[in-house]
Amino acid sequence: MKLARFFLVLLFAAGFAFAAEETEYEQASDFTLKDVKGASITLDSLLKVGPVYMECWDLPCVNCIAELDALMPVYDSLKERGLQIVALSVDKPSDEARVKAFVKSKKWPYIILLDAQNEVKKAYGIIIKPTAYLINMDGEIVYTHIGYKKGDEKKIADEFVKWLPEAPAAEEKSEE
């Protein structure tokens, strides 16, 4: 009986050792897309500033818009620490003017990228909207959020905080 208990304790302790191992994350695919102002933006350049939360959305997706609206106060409170939110529009090229007008009316403070050819959507295997990925500064996908219901922004904010530096991004740069 003592031997069995010893092995159980040993297995339990080994389980903790395995759990303490570093998690391997999938590497995010780099991309280059135009934003709503016509500038070319790459994922790699964004990651130099801080983690990126990239949400795939389009005009007909009510839940996408609700999530992006709900994240505004979260973004406002964390942007100084380097958080960037990218709203990846997968609307058709013929809807580009409508997307630009809609985004302007919403006053979203996010980086709005146009993926009219669905290149990024396909590269990331996005099927359902909204689908969002939190990408750390090492380019690893550390969190995935699919769908949206009111209140999800709290869970998403908790994930943001795990991956943000403690000090504001501006302070870190000034110390160098």
Burial pattern 10-43, b for ≥16 Cβ within 10 A else e, equals eeeeeeeeeeeeeeeeeebeebebebbeeeebeb
In CATH terms, the fold of domain 25-175 is Glutaredoxin (3.40.30)
Query: Full-prediction pTM beyond 0.85?
Result: no
Q: How far apart are CA 158 and CA 88, in angstroms?
A: 22
Distance, in Å, from the CA atom of 169 to the CA atom of 83, rounded to the nearest integer, reads: 9
pLDDT in tens, 9-35: 333 434 443 444 567 899 999 999 999
pLDDT computed for residue 71 by the predictor: 97
What are the boundaries of each domain within the chain?
25-175
Matching residue, tokens 């699919």 = 146
pLDDT digits (tens, 9 = 90+) for 109-131: 999 999 999 999 999 999 999 99
